[in-house]
């Protein structure tokens, strides 16, 4: 199923509609399990999985789908961690192109903003000795600037379309 973005997206949407007795959805359970098994996804299917996660993330971020446990992470964090783990398995250029694609589609701004913030934080932690840590970054500094600029343009376009 993960080889087909559309089928995987529809599957996630169906899981998001299935409420569990504890108030969460089956989608949250699935994404938590997916996060623990990202290495099992073949590399050539990673783009379709990442695209599907971005595409449906707004539906998966419903407020009533948060665990009641004080130690539990929100859906946004779980989805972002899953995406980051998947992105780490492909090369930097492919990561950048994939992120660029999902940003230009303009969906899932909360997840996009979370990813950009994570990328910025990652680079600021290692800014003193950039040469030794750049290989640990999901995207290089120039690509991060481009992604930030694209995100700003999408946000402006989204803000003006609501007025």
**pLDDT tens digits along 100-141:** 998 888 677 777 887 888 887 877 765 555 555 566 677 888
Range of 122's domain? 5-161
The rounded distance, in Å, linking the Cα atoms of 25 and 93 is 34
Query: What is the pLDDT, as a whole number, of residue 63?
Result: 46
Residue 57 CB neighbours (<10 A): 24
Query: What is the pLDDT, as a whole number, of residue 126?
Result: 57
- pTM: predicted TM-score of the whole model, two decimal places: 0.77
Query: What is the pLDDT, as a whole number, of residue 62?
Result: 61
Query: What is the pLDDT, as a whole number, of residue 70?
Result: 45
Q: In 3-state terms, what secondary structure has residue 4?
A: coil
Query: What is the pLDDT, as a whole number, of residue 139?
Result: 84
DSSP 8-class letter at 129 = G
The rounded distance, in Å, linking the Cα atoms of 46 and 41 is 7
Query: What is the pLDDT, as a whole number, of residue 132?
Result: 55
In whole angstroms, how far apart are CA 96 and each of 8, 49, 93, 138, 139?
22, 15, 5, 8, 6
Report residues of the chain scoring pLDDT below 50: 63, 70-71, 163
Domain count, the chain: 1
């Amino acid at each position: 199923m993960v080889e087909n973005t559309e089928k995987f997206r529809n599957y996630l949407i169906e899981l998001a509609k299935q409420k569990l007795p504890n108030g969460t959805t089956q989608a949250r359970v699935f994404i938590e399990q997916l996060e623990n098994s990202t290495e099992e996804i073949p590399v050539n299917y990673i783009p379709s999985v990442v695209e599907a996660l971005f595409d449906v993330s707004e539906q998966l971020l419903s407020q009533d789908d948060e665990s009641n446990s004080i130690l539990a992470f929100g859906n946004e964090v779980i989805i972002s961690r899953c995406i980051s783990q998947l992105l780490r398995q492909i090369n930097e250029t492919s990561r950048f192109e994939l992120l660029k694609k999902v940003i230009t589609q303009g969906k899932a701004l909360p997840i996009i903003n979370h990813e950009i913030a994570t990328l910025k934080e990652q680079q600021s932690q290692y800014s003193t000795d950039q040469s030794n840590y750049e290989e640990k970054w999901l995207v290089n500094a120039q690509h991060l600037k481009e992604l930030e600029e694209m995100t700003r343009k999408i946000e402006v376009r989204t803000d003006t379309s609501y007025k």
